Chains A and B, each alone.
Chain A
């Protein structure tokens, strides 16, 4: 049943296959052979993901690809609940993880899978790795997390915009400042928000780094210029999309 579309994955040793479910999957939604492509852009806050996605979308559409964007915590089903829970600060780490997973399941079934079925390129601003990193930092069992997200689809490409904590601090302070959750204040890592932000983001970066091999991240240096990163993204996306999937760019 292996289609040539799976060639981007590393199914050779029985590991993750891009375009397939990571784990047990959703039995009532078989996705084999769907023509669309799922591309995730990952990275902590302040690495410029949204800008890169906007530029990438623009470029893909000019090439003639249909593009759908999706984000993390944007589903109409859960958004009010998550906002409420964040505001009231009553979430424990387990319900936090499960709320985000519910939200993702909603988006997966109602946005991502239909778009893949219809042949769109789906650009995901963050993906499950954000949830895995945040929960991992908070001490949630890693095996359990991976089993939970076994219903997620392995993206065809995962770009990880990597940055060091010093650069990140500079960017966040210049733009919108540090907020409670981005600083991991719930973890009580430091007395003030700066110390906490630093410690928390350091831990997050370590979590992302530990996932890089497991989930086949393509690592990009987010300290480079916006234009340079975009060039690199386009090169790699173009190489992937033009590789024998029968749907070359419209000329």
Chain B
């Protein structure tokens, strides 16, 4: 059996991952982290969950016809992830870059299990994934995340609100029920995989200070900043 998620990778680059439900503020924190790392001279590559071209078409048509089951939803996202891992994540890691992932396999563990997929099966499914050097979990109460999403006038998406499960026809209520269970899964996953918890209720600046403090120790040894071209060596 593959057990890549359980052992340290051998690439010269670094993989940092942010996790959390919608409205936890993880994307904001990741963007600020990327800014800082770039300013420090590191080469940074950012990748998002569910962003590969190959399966976007299938996911879309599935959503339109409301045709995805929890299993096909899970497998489609795994396909997407495999594609992204091999084309977008591993090459920069091999090249010694810093890869920042907005959501990772843990998102699948939390969501798919909440949808009723077997907990062990989905972990084995993703056992080809590279273990992150650091995974940050932005812990937030449902009400805070909903307030943030509402303030941005974000329309709750069908699958993100768990509307496919039919727990409630009301998107807000469905979001609350679904993401509430997702949060429970995240708590379990955080312990299982050693994710660092960030209190996502704190101010953006305070959180970012914490994030940078957690990232710093991973930057020291191998991933030294690139030599700048304008300063010829010797």
Contact = CB atoms under 8 A, between A and B. Distances in A.
Contacts of A91: 54
A25 B75 CA distance: 14
A90 B116 CA distance: 32
Interface string B115-152: 01110110011011000000000000000000000000
A151 B124 CA distance: 12
A109 B72 contact: yes
Given A77-B58, A78-B58, A151-B71, A26 B82 contact: no
Interface string A77-89: 1101100110000
Interface stretch (B39-47, B62-70, B156-164, B225-233): B62-70
Interface residues of B, number: 31
A27 B58 contact: no
Contacts of B120: 24
Given A94-B128, A95-B54, A28 B70 contact: yes
B69 A151 contact: no
B1 A81 contact: no
A147 B125 contact: yes
User: Which one of A28, A102, A141 has the highest number of Cβ atoms from chain B below 10 Å of its Cβ?
Assistant: A102
A148 B124 contact: yes
Interface string A87-103: 00011101100110110
A2 B163 CA distance: 36
A178 B78 CA distance: 32
Nearest to B56: A81
Nearest to B55: A81
B221 interface: no
Given A94-B128, A143-B1, A151 B58 contact: no
Given A25-B118, A28-B70, A147 B83 contact: no
B57 interface: yes
Nearest to A147: B124
A201 B84 CA distance: 30
- A contacts with B: majority SS: helix
A95 B83 contact: yes
B118 A26 contact: yes
Interface string A141-157: 10110011011000000
Interface string A18-58: 00000111111000000000000000000000000000000
B79 A141 contact: no
Interface in A101-141: 101-102, 105-106, 108-110, 141
B37 interface: no
A235 to B, nearest CB: 36
Given A81-B55, A144-B2, A95 B82 contact: yes
B57 A84 contact: yes
Contacts of B82: 92, 94-95, 98
A85 B52 CA distance: 13
B5 to A, nearest CB: 12
A102 B70 CA distance: 11
B223 interface: no
A144 B128 contact: yes
Given A77-B67, A144-B124, A94 B86 contact: yes
A112 to B, nearest CB: 13
A77 B62 contact: yes
Nearest to A79: B58
B201 interface: no
Contacts of A98: 75, 78-79, 82
A118 to B, nearest CB: 18
A143 B3 CA distance: 11
A98 B61 CA distance: 18
Contact of A80 (B58, B87, B127): B58
A98 B75 CA distance: 7
Interface in B146-196: none
Given A27-B117, A108-B71, A144-B128, 13 more contacts: A28-B116, A76-B67, A77-B72, A81-B55, A84-B57, A85-B54, A91-B54, A98-B75, A105-B69, A105-B71, A144-B127, A147-B121, A151-B71
